[in-house]
Chains A and B, each alone.
Chain A
Amino acid sequence: MHSIEEIYNIQYYDRDSYFTSSINVKSRAKRPNSALLDPGSAATNATANNKSSTSGNHRKRLATGAYNLSAIENQIHGTAPTEETAEVKSSMKRFQELDRENYNDVRFDLPKTIHFQYNKYPPSKSRVKPKVKGNAYTHLRKVLNSRRTLANHMDELDDGTKSVLLSYIHTKPSRDSVLVVKKKLCSICGDNSPSSCVHCGLRVCSVKCSNVHKETRCANYYAV
C-alpha cells in the first residue's frame, strides 16, 4: 500500500518525496500524529526510507489509482478506522469462521469426466431430447461446464443488484437496542458474565474461567 505526504508548508515541498511508496499505512498507524506535527521530519524520513528501497534519485510517480486514497484520507483527517468498524470487521471474520461446513475449508476439485456408479432404470424409448442450436447451444454448454465460483459471479454484478444483495436485505442491529436486550455470556463456560478480559475484551465470568481464557484463547495476553 502506498501513501501520500500532505504539504503543509511550501518550503518543505520536495518534488521527490511527495509521493512515497515506502511508508505503508499500517506502520504509520502506530504513530499517527508524527506526520501532522512535524511534516518536515516526516518528509525527510520518507526520503530516507525511500533511498533504501529505491536505488536511484529519480523515483517514478505512482499512476492515479495505484494507491488507496480513502485509507490515506482517513489517516490524514483522523477518521482512521474507528472502534465500530473494527468490531464489524472482527465480527465478519468470526462469522466466516463459524459459517462453514469443514473447519479447515478444504475444497476438492472434480475430475474432468466423472461417472457415478448407481443402478438406473432402463431408459424409455419415448424420451425426446430437446434440440438446441447455435448460440444457445454454446451458452448452454458453458453453463453446464462452468466451474466459476460465487466470488467470480459477485464481481460481475452491477452496483444496484450488489447493494440489494449485500446490504438491503440484511437487518443491522440497532446500536442501543430497545427491542431485544443483548446477552452477555462467558466465552469459556457459557454462563452469564458481568465482566470481560482486560487484554482482549472477550467475556469471562470468573477467576477460574479467566485463567483458562488466558492460557488458551486470549490473543493479546503475551503481547502486553
Chain B
Amino acid sequence: MSTIIIDNGSYEIKIGHASNGVESVKTLQNSIIRTKDKRLLISNQLSTINDISGVQFKRPIERGQLVSWEVEKMIWDYAFESTDVGLNIDTFHDKDLILSEAPFTIPQMSMNSDQVVFEEYGFNSLYKSPVGGFVPFNQQNNEKIYIPSTESVGETAVTAVETGSYSDYQLVIDSGFNATWIIPMVKGVIYWRGVKKLDIGGRFLSGVLREQISFRHYNVTDETVLINNIKNESCFVSLDYNESLKKIKAKGSNKQDHVIEYVLPDFNTTTQGYVLTPELKEKYKPQSQQILKLYDERFTAPETLFHPEIVDVFNKAGIVETIIDSINTLPEIVRPLIVANIVMIGGNCNMRGFEQRLLNELKIVLPVEWEVRIGKPSNPSTYGRECASVFSQTESYQKVKITKKDYEEHGPHWVHKRFGYSL
C-alpha cells in the first residue's frame, strides 16, 4: 500500500509518492490555459507555447474554494497519466491519499471532494487537512531552519528531537497565490478559533506590480505570465522601507542593488524575458531589445503585505496585525510558546528578506521577554508536501485516515465532521 500526497494549491499542484524523497515531487500548474489564438492547453503545457502575451487562465480553485471539479478532474488525470509529469499512477484502489485543502472550505465543496476521491477515483483511504497542518510533524527539519537559530540562543536550546514526534505549539504562515493564512496549531491539531485569513496573496501582488508598471513604463495589463515572471525574478521584501526609498533616490553605487533591468521578451532570443545582470551586460552588446527598468516597484508590491493602505486598500489589516489577532485568540500561557515556533510556507515566501522583515516587525510589537523565532525553508512552496510525507510515516496518520469502507458506511456528512472545521 503506497501513499500519494497531493498539495492542491490554487496556483500549483504539488504531487508525489510519500515514500520517495523530496526531489521526486512534481509541480504542475492548476489551470487550463487559453492562448491568444484560442487554443486550449492543460496545466504544464503552458511551457510549450512561445507567445505568452494574452494568455488566459481557468482555475478550478476560485478564492481558495475548489469550485469546478470538471476542470480539476482533467488536471488530475493529466497529473496521473501524462508522461510529461511522469508519475504513472493508474491503479487507485491500493493507494492512500493525503490531500490538502484550504482552511474553511465551504462544507458542500469539501463533501464534493470526498465523493470524487472515493467514488470516481476509488482511493483506498483519505486524509484531508490544510497544508499548514502537516508542518509541526516535520519538527526535525523545522529546528534547523529557525532564525535566530537554537544554538545562538544558548540556554533555551532544545534537546535533540525524537523522530516521529511533533512540536506542541506551532504557528504556520501559509502565504500562497490566493491568500495568506495564519494557522496556530496546538498539540498537532489546528486551533480553529485562531485561524485567520489575510486576503493578500501572490495574485494581489502581481496586480499591484501590473498596475505600477503599466502606469509608469509599458502597458502590460494583458501580460499575466510576464508579470508573474518579473515578480518571481525581481521582487523582494525590503528590510527598511524608508531606507530603500532613499537608496533609490541616491546617486552612485548604492543604487545598484535596488534598481534592476529586465529584458522583455522579443520572441527571437527570449520568450520569457530575463534579468540583465552586470555579467550578462558585459558578455552581450545591448541589442534592440526592450528593457524595463524597475525601481521601487520591486519592494513596493511586496510591501502591501505589511501595509495594504499604500495601494488605497483601507479595509484590510496588514500581516503583522493579523498574526497578533490570531495569537490573541490563544490562551495566554501558550502565546510565548507559539511565537517561538513560526514556520513560513507557500510560494510567496520565496521572496528574499520576507522572514527577516517579519521577525523585525514582530519583535517590535511583541513583549520584549518573548523569544521570537521564524523558520523559512529553502523550498517554501513544496515544504508543505515534504511535511506531509513525514506525517505519513507517523502513527497518528494511521489513526486519523478514513478508509473507503468507513466512507461507505457512514456517508459524506460524517467524513466532513472528521475533517471539517469546528469553531
Contact = CB atoms under 8 A, between A and B. Distances in A.
A185 B119 CA distance: 54
Interface in B89-145: 90-93, 103-104, 106-109, 112, 115-116, 118-122
Interface in B211-245: 211-212, 214-215, 221-222, 224, 241-242, 245
Given A110-B70, A164-B104, A121 B81 contact: yes
A116 interface: yes
Contacts of B297: 190
B307 A170 contact: no
B403 to A, nearest CB: 13
B195 A169 contact: yes
Contacts of A182: 307, 309
Contacts of B104: 164-165, 169
A15 interface: no
A161 B197 CA distance: 15
A65 B115 CA distance: 40
A91 interface: yes
A118 B78 contact: yes
Contacts of B306: 180
Interface in B388-423: 423
Contact of B222 (A102, A114, A148): A102
Interface residues of A, number: 71
Contact of A179 (B73, B90, B215, B320): B320
Interface of A: 87-88, 90-92, 94-95, 97-104, 106-108, 110-111, 114, 116, 118-121, 123-124, 126-130, 132, 136, 139-140, 143-150, 153-154, 156-157, 161, 164-165, 168-174, 177, 179-180, 182-183, 185, 187, 190-192, 202, 216
B244 to A, nearest CB: 11
26 contacts: A87-B314, A91-B313, A95-B315, A98-B208, A99-B199, A103-B210, A103-B222, A116-B78, A118-B42, A118-B82, A127-B92, A130-B122, A132-B119, A144-B120, A146-B68, A149-B67, A150-B65, A161-B107, A164-B104, A168-B423, A173-B316, A179-B321, A180-B361, A185-B300, A202-B312, A216-B215
Of all A-B residue pairs in the complex, the 4 with the closest CB atoms, nearest first, are A130-B122, A98-B207, A103-B221, A91-B315
A173 B297 CA distance: 24
A120 B81 contact: yes
B318 interface: yes
A183 B315 contact: no
A153 B109 contact: yes
Interface string B161-204: 00000000000000000000000000000000001111100011
B57 interface: yes
A168 to B, nearest CB: 8
Contact of A161 (B106, B199, B212, B242): B106
B293 interface: no
A153 B90 CA distance: 32
A31 B207 CA distance: 39
Given A87-B314, A103-B222, A161-B106, A127 B90 contact: yes
B116 A88 contact: no
Given A150-B63, A169-B195, A171-B198, 18 more contacts: A87-B315, A91-B313, A95-B204, A100-B203, A114-B40, A116-B42, A121-B81, A128-B91, A128-B122, A140-B116, A140-B120, A149-B67, A153-B108, A169-B197, A170-B196, A171-B326, A180-B307, A216-B215
B250 interface: no
Contact of A124 (B91, B325, B326): B91
Contact of A149 (B62, B310, B314): B62
A206 to B, nearest CB: 13
B71 interface: yes
Interface string B38-73: 001110010000000000111000110101111101
